[in-house]
Chains A and B, each alone.
Chain A
Amino acid sequence: MRRIIAVWVTKFLILIGRLGGKGGSSTPGHFALKICPNILKFLSGQVRDGIIAVCGTNGKTTTNNLLCTMLRAEGKKVVCNSLGANMLEGVVTAFASSADLFGRLDADFACIEIDEISAVKVFDHFIPKSMIITNLFRDQLDRYGEIDITVDYLKRAVEKAKNITLILNADDPLVAAFGKKTGNPCVFFGVGEDVGISLNETKEGRFCSFCGEELSYRFYHYSQLGDYGCGSCGFSRPEVRFEATEVNISEGLSFNVDGRRIHADYRGFYNIYNILAAYSAASHAGAELKDLQSVLGGYKPQVGRMETFFIGKPVVFNLSKNPAGFNQAISSVSGDGRSKDVVVVINDNAQDGRDISWIWDVDFERLKDVKAKTFTASGIRHCDVMVRFKYAGLENTKDTGDVLKAIEDALKTDSEVLYVLVNYTALFSTQKILKRLEGDYKSGKGGRWE
C-alpha cells in the first residue's frame, strides 16, 4: 500500500511542479523515497528487458534521450529521465511517473542518466544491465573535489555490479583505463581518425592511469580525447567495436559506423560521441536500428543544446557548464561565418558548483578573431566573466546581471545571429526568457528588434 501511496504522491507533486512551471524534477522522488524506501527497487524490478545507465561528465542527457528515442522507434516501451534530473531522487521520479496508479510499470527498457557520484547510491536499488560512460572531464569542481574522486565513486558503483557490460568511450584514456581496471565486459566506441579540430586547452588525464607516464598521442580531438598510447607500460586506446570513420563535420555530422553511413543535422563534433554511445548501447541491447536515419532526423535536441530560436534573427542557445563543453561551444561560434553577438551567462548556485574558476580554462582568447558586435557578460557572476573577457583581449564587451536586458540589447544590433551560452542553473530561466521573446516576436509585439 505504501508503494501505491508513494506513486500517487509522486504523480501529484509532478503535476503541482508542472503547474508551477518548474523545470527540474527531483522533489517528487524525494518524498516518494520517504514514504516507501524500496519504491525504486519495486518499480525498476518490473522492467522486462533491462535497464541501461548513462554516466559521464558531458553528453549524458543527449545520449540518454537519443538511446530512448532509438529504442522507442523499435516499438519498445521505455522509461527515461529525459529532463536530466539524474540524482537518486530524479531517477525515482522518472520511474514513479511512468507507473500506473496501482504501481504497475509496463516497460521493456529503462534508459536512466545517473550523476557519477549518485551511481553508487542508485545501484543499491537496481543493477543495470549495461552502463555507458561518455567521458570524464572536469566538472563542478567544488562538489567533487577532483576528477580522481569522481572515478573513485564510479568504481565503487561498478563494484556492486560485477556482471554489467560497460559501454565506453575508447578515445578517453580515463574512461578506457577505468573499464580495464574493473574487469567487467567492455564494449568500446570511438572516432578512429584525425578530424583536425584539436585546440590548445587544459588536458586533464593525459597521464597514464596505470603507471603515471605522460601519454603520447597519434592525434587529439579535444580535451584528452584522441588516439593515445603509453610508452612505458603499453596501455593504449583499446580495440573499438563501434568506430566512426570518414567523419565529415562541415555540414551537420556524417560518419560511417558498423557498415552504414549516418547523417545528423546537429552542430558540434561532440554529438558524434553522443550518437555513437547511444547506437552502441541500443545495438548491444539487440536493437536492429533499421529506421536510424529517421530517428536522428526526428530527434529534437533538448533544452539548451544548440537549441535555436527566432526572434527577428536566429538565436542559438547552448548549455556550457565546464571547460570541455565550453570550448566545444566556442568552436561552434567561431566556425559560424555570420556576423554575431555573444551573451555568456554564468551563475554560481549550488548545482552549478560554487567555484567558477574553470572559466579561465576556457579558451575565450579564440573569440578574439570572431569580431562579434558585442560580447555581453551576464548571470550572477557577470563581473568575473567580464574580467575573463578583458584578459582574453575581447573588444566591445559589456556586462549586466540582468539576463533579459543582456539578450534584448544584443538583439538590437544588426548582426545576423545571436549566441547565448549559459551554465546549468541559468538554463531554464534563460530558456524561458527566449521562449517569451520568441512568442512576442511571432505575435507581432517584437517589432522593436527590427
Chain B
Amino acid sequence: MKLSIGHLFPELLNLYGDRGNIISLRRRMEWRGMEAEVTEYKLNDNIDFSKLDIVFLGGGSDREQLLVCKRLGGIREAFKDYVEGGGVVIAICGGYQLLGHYYKLKNELVPGLSILDIFTESGVGRLIGNAVIKADFSDVPIVGFENHGGRTYIGDHKPLGKVLFGSGNNGSDGGEGVIYKNVIGTYLHGPLFPKNPHLCDMVIKNALEKKYGKAELAPLEDEAEYKANSFIVNKYTRK
C-alpha cells in the first residue's frame, strides 16, 4: 500500500522542525512495508489534490504566511473540495491559522482560506511553552510545544483535545486545535508526530481507509517514542 503526501511550501512553512512530521509519517509507513511518496510543492507549483492522500501544512513567520495565503487563495475551491470529500490534512501553527477565515493582526488582516469556520486574532504576548492535551481517541495524551501570538476561536468545531497543560487555542476556552472530518489543525509542534506515534498512526490509518476502504496497521515497537511522550506528561501534569 502506498500514500502520496503533499508537503505544501516547505521552503516557506517549515518552522520549528516541522519536517520531523514528514519524517515520522514516512518512517512509520516504511517500517510496515508500505510506501510513502512525499512531494514538496513550491509556491508556484500546480497542486492536483485528487492525487494526494495527505496534505501537510507547516508553520511560518507572519511574512511567509502572507505569501502563502496569496497563493492558496487561487486554489481554495479545490482545497475545500478535497477537505469535504474526506481528504486528510495536517495543518500546524501558521498552517492551522490559514484554514480559518482570517488572522487579524494589529494593523493588518491576513485573509484565510475559510476551509473551516474558525478565525484568529493577535493577542498580547505570545503563548509559549510545553503543552499536554487529551484527545478522545486515546488515553495517552498528545504532547507538544506551542509558540503563537494568535488566538484561535473554533466556534462550533470540535477541538483536537482538551488542554491539560499549556494555553491551547486561545488560552481561555480550554481547547487545543481542531478536528473536522479528516482535517487536524493544531498549534502543537515539537514536532507533533515523533512524540505522538498514536496520532501519527491515526492519520496514516485515516488516509489508508479513505484510499483503500479499510486498513489495519501492524503494531510497531514504540518504546522510545512513548518514553519521550511520558517525560513531558510527567514533568508538566503530575505534581
Q: How far is the CB of A362 from chain B (nearest CB, A)?
A: 9
Question: Do residues A141 and B147 form an inter-chain contact, with CB atoms below 8 A?
Answer: yes
Contacts of B64 in A (CB 8 A): 207
A15 at the interface (CB under 8 A from B): no
Q: A142-B129, A354-B145, A386-B224 are in contact. Are A361 and B19 (CB under 8 A)?
A: yes
A357 to B187, CA, bound (A): 13
Quick check: which of A53-61, A143-151, A427-435 contacts chain B, the rest being far away?
Answer: A143-151
Contacts of B17 in A (CB 8 A): 357-361
Contacts of B12 in A (CB 8 A): 207
> What DSSP secondary structure best describes chain B's contact surface?
mixed
A360 to B128, CA, bound (A): 19
Q: Mark B135-159, 1 if CB is under 8 A from A, else 0.
A: 0000000000101010000000000
Closest to A146 in B: B61
Quick check: which of B112-120, B176-184, B188-196, B207-215 contacts chain A, the rest being far away?
Answer: B188-196
Question: Do residues A355 and B20 form an inter-chain contact, with CB atoms below 8 A?
Answer: no
Please provide the chain B residues from 204 to 239 with a CB less than 8 Å away from any CB of chain A in the complex. 224-225, 227-228, 231
Contacts of A387 in B (CB 8 A): 194-195, 224-225, 228
B27 at the interface (CB under 8 A from A): yes
Contacts of A358 in B (CB 8 A): 16-17
Q: A146-B15, A214-B11, A387-B194 are in contact. Are A357 and B189 (CB under 8 A)?
A: yes
B43 at the interface (CB under 8 A from A): yes
What's the A-B contact tally at a CB cutoff of 8 Å? 87
Name the interface size band of chain B. Answer: 35 or more
Q: A388-B194, A391-B27 are in contact. Are A202 and B228 (CB under 8 A)?
A: no
Q: How far is the CB of A151 from chain B (nearest CB, A)?
A: 10
A206 at the interface (CB under 8 A from B): yes
A390 at the interface (CB under 8 A from B): yes
Please provide the chain B residues from 4 to 63 with a CB less than 8 Å away from any CB of chain A in the complex. 11-12, 14-20, 23-24, 27, 42-43, 61-63
Contacts of B224 in A (CB 8 A): 383, 386-387, 390
Partner of A386, one of B15, B62, B149, B228: B228
Question: Do residues A360 and B20 form an inter-chain contact, with CB atoms below 8 A?
Answer: yes
Highest count of chain A CB atoms <10 Å: which of B15, B62, B195: B15
Please provide the chain A residues from 363 to 396 with a CB less than 8 Å away from any CB of chain B in the complex. 381, 383-384, 386-388, 390-391, 393
B130 at the interface (CB under 8 A from A): yes
A212 at the interface (CB under 8 A from B): yes
Question: Do residues A203 and B63 form an inter-chain contact, with CB atoms below 8 A?
Answer: no
A214 to B126, CA, bound (A): 28
Question: Do residues B194 and A145 form an inter-chain contact, with CB atoms below 8 A?
Answer: no
Question: Do residues B63 and A355 form an inter-chain contact, with CB atoms below 8 A?
Answer: no
Closest to A202 in B: B14
Q: A207-B67, A386-B227 are in contact. Are A354 and B130 (CB under 8 A)?
A: yes
Question: Do residues A145 and B126 form an inter-chain contact, with CB atoms below 8 A?
Answer: yes
Question: Do residues A142 and B147 form an inter-chain contact, with CB atoms below 8 A?
Answer: yes
Please provide the chain A residues from 194 to 225 with a CB less than 8 Å away from any CB of chain B in the complex. 202-203, 206-207, 212, 214
Closest to A365 in B: B23
19 example contacts (A-B, Cβ-Cβ < 8 A) are as follows A145-B126, A148-B62, A202-B14, A206-B11, A207-B11, A355-B190, A357-B145, A357-B191, A360-B20, A361-B17, A361-B19, A383-B228, A384-B194, A384-B195, A386-B228, A387-B224, A387-B225, A387-B228, A391-B20
Interface residues of B (CB under 8 A from A): 11-12, 14-20, 23-24, 27, 42-43, 61-64, 67, 126, 128-130, 145, 147, 149, 189-191, 194-195, 224-225, 227-228, 231
Q: Shortest 10 CB-CB distances between A and B: which pairs?
A: A360-B20, A360-B17, A357-B17, A383-B228, A146-B61, A357-B16, A355-B145, A383-B231, A148-B61, A383-B227
A145-B126, A360-B18, A386-B224 known, 6 other contacts, Cβ within 8 Å: A146-B62, A355-B147, A360-B17, A384-B228, A387-B225, A388-B20
